[in-house]
C-alpha cells in the first residue's frame, strides 16, 4: 500500500505538476485544486491512484474525493511537497467566476446556509432526545410518568431546542453579511433586531394570540422568528450598503458613521419593506412545499427520493437546505429528511452490491469503505468512486431511493432536524417513528442492492471501463 506522501506525489504529477497548481484546499471529503490549465490534468491517472474514490472538475476546481480523515493527511503531504496553500474562501472567490448565473446563485445560497447547518443539526438531535426522554414508554421503564419530570428540566430542554430557530434570522443575517463582504457583527445585530422581544412574536401572531403593529397606517410589522428569506435579503442588501458607505466615509470617521448608518437604514428597510414583502413570499414557498409533500399516494417521496442524488451530482442540492430550514422553523418537523435519507442509503446499497460481486481486490477496497461512508450519510465516495463509474449501479440506486422515499412519504416520516441521514439520522426519529425510518432505509438499500447485484454490475463492465480509460 502506498503511503500518503507517495500518493500526494502522484496527485501533483497527474494534475500537471506544482507549476500548474494555483492553490490547494480541502473540505470534509475532497481535495480541491485550483489549476492554471485544465487540459494538463490526466483525470484517468488521478482516478487510478490508490485511495482516490473519484475525481471531477466543478466550479473552477479539480476535486479529488479521498473521504473523511484521509483527505486531511493527503492535503498536508501535498502542501509539504511545495503546492501553494489556499483557503476555501479564496477558492470560492475564484469559483464565483465560473459557471452560469444560476450555478453561481446556487453556490452563493449554499455558502450562506451551509455554515449554520451544524447548529441546526445539533438542535434537531436535541429535539429527538427530548422526545425520547419524555415518552411515556421510556419513562415507564424507569418507573416514572410525565408529571414526574421537573418543570425546570423541561424549561432547560426548551432552551436547547428553541434557541436556534427563535434567533434564526440573526444566524442567517450574520452568514449573509459574511458571504457578501460586510461586517458579520453588524449582520448579527441586524438579525437580532428582526426578532427583538419588543415586536409582536411571529408565532403568537400566527396563533391569533397577538396582533401585528401597524406602521404608517398600512404596514403590518411583527417579529420575524423562524424566517429565512427576510434575513437573507436584509443581509445581502446590508452588506452591499455597508461597503458603499465605507467607500465614501473618511477613515477617521469610519468606526462611527459606517455601522451607525448601516444599522439605521437597514433597520428601517428590513422592518418596514424587506420583512413584510419577503415574509409573504416565504409563506408562498412554504405553502408550495407543503402542497408538494402532501401529494397523495407517496408521489412526492417517489420523485424526490429518485432524483435527489442526481440533483446532488449537479450541485444544486443546497436549495433543499432552505426548504428544510423553512419547514423546521415553521412546522417543527422535516418530512424531507426521510425521503432524502432513502436516496443516500440506496447509493450505499448499490455500492455494497458492487463490492460483493466484483472479484477485483482494488474495487472491493474502494467499494466497501464507500458503502460505509454512504451509510454514515456521505455519498460522494459511493457516487463518484463506484456507482457513476459503471452507470447502472447509480441508476438502480436512484430506483432504490425512489422506493424508500415513496415508503417514507406514504407512512408520513417527519424528522425533528436536518442534514444527518441513514445511521446518524436515527436520532431524528425518536418520536415513535424509528422503526418506520429503519424500514424505509432497508427498502431503499434492498431495492438498490438487488437490482445492482442482478443486473447492474459485472467484472466485464469494469474491464471495459478500464479499457476505455487506457485508450
| CA 86/CA 34 separation, integer angstroms | 9
Instruction: Tell me the C-alpha to C-alpha distance, in Å, between residue 81 and each of 14, 23, 69, 85, 158.
Output: 14, 13, 19, 11, 51
3-state SS class at 23: strand
**Please, which residues have CB within 8 angstroms of residue 390's CB and are 6 or more apart in sequence?**
354, 456, 457, 461, 462, 465
Angle CA 106–332–348, to nearest 5:
55
Q: What H or E segment, with its residue span, contains residue 24?
A: strand 21-26
| CA 113/CA 178 separation, integer angstroms | 11
According to DSSP, the β-strands at 54-58 and 61-65 are: antiparallel
Q: Please state, as a whole number, how many other Cβ atoms lie within 10 Å of the Cβ of residue 243.
A: 15
| CA 303/CA 265 separation, integer angstroms | 44
Please report which residue ranges of 3-62 form alpha helices under DSSP H: 4-14, 43-47
User: Which residues are known to be catalytic?
Assistant: 27
Amino acid at each position: 500500500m502506498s503511503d500518503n506522501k507517495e500518493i500526494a506525489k502522484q496527485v501533483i504529477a497527474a494534475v500537471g505538476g506544482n507549476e500548474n497548481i494555483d492553490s490547494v484546499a480541502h473540505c470534509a471529503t475532497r481535495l480541491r485544486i485550483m489549476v492554471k490549465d485544465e487540459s494538463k490534468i490526466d483525470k484517468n491517472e488521478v482516478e487510478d491512484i490508490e485511495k482516490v474514490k473519484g475525481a471531477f472538475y466543478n466550479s473552477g476546481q479539480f476535486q479529488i474525493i479521498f473521504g473523511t480523515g484521509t483527505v486531511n493527511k493527503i492535503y498536508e503531504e501535498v502542501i509539504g511537497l511545495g503546492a501553494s496553500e489556499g483557503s476555501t474562501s479564496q477558492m470560492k472567490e475564484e469559483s464565483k467566476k465560473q459557471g452560469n448565473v444560476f450555478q453561481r446563485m446556487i453556490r452563493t445560497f449554499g455558502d450562506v446556509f451551509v455554515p449554520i447547518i451544524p447548529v441546526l443539526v445539533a438542535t434537531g438531535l436535541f429535539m429527538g432526545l427530548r422526545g425520547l426522554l419524555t415518552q411515556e414508554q421510556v419513562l415507564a421503564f424507569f418507573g416514572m410518568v410525565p408529571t414526574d419530570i421537573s418543570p425546570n428540566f423541561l424549561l432547560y430542554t426548551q432552551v436547547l431546542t428553541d434557541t436556534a430557530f427563535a434567533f434564526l434570522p440573526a444566524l442567517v443575517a450574520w452568514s449573509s453579511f459574511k458571504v457578501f463582504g460586510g461586517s458579520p457583527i453588524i449582520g448579527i445585530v441586524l438579525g437580532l433586531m428582526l426578532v427583538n422581544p419588543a415586536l409582536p412574536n411571529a408565532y403568537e401572531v400566527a396563533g391569533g394570540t397577538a396582533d401585528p403593529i401597524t406602521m404608517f397606517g398600512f404596514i403590518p410589522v411583527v417579529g420575524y422568528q423562524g424566517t429565512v428569506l427576510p434575513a437573507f435579503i436584509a443581509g445581502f442588501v446590508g452588506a452591499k450598503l455597508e461597503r458603499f458607505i465605507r467607500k465614501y466615509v473618511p477613515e477617521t470617521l469610519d468606526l462611527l458613521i459606517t455601522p451607525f448608518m448601516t444599522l439605521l437604514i437597514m433597520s428601517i428597510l428590513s422592518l418596514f419593506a424587506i420583512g413584510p414583502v419577503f415574509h409573504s413570499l416565504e409563506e408562498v414557498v412554504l405553502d408550495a412545499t407543503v402542497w408538494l409533500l402532501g401529494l397523495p399516494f407517496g408521489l412526492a417521496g417517489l420523485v424526490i427520493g429518485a432524483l435527489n442524488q442526481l440533483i446532488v451530482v449537479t450541485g444544486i442540492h443546497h436549495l433543499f437546505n432552505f426548504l428544510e430550514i423553512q419547514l423546521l422553523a415553521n412546522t417543527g418537523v422535516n418530512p424531507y429528511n426521510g425521503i432524502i435519507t432513502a436516496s443516500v442509503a440506496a447509493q450505499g446499497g448499490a455500492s455494497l452490491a458492487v463490492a460483493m460481486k466484483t472479484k477485483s481486490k482494488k474495487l472491493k477496497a474502494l467499494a466497501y469503505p464507500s458503502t460505509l461512508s454512504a451509510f454514515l450519510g456521505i455519498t460522494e465516495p459511493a457516487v463518484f468512486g463506484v456507482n457513476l463509474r459503471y452507470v447502472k449501479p447509480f441508476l438502480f440506486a436512484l430506483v432504490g431511493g425512489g422506493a424508500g422515499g415513496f415508503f417514507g412519504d406514504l407512512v408520513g416520516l417527519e424528522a425533528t432536524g436536518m442534514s444527518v441521514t441513514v445511521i446518524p439520522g436515527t436520532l431524528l426519529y425518536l418520536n415513535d417513528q424509528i422503526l418506520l425510518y429503519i424500514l424505509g432505509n432497508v427498502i431503499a438499500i434492498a431495492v438498490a442492492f438487488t437490482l445492482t447485484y442482478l443486473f447492474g454490475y459485472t467484472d466485464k463492465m469494469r474491464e471495459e471501463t478500464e479499457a476505455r480509460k487506457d485508450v
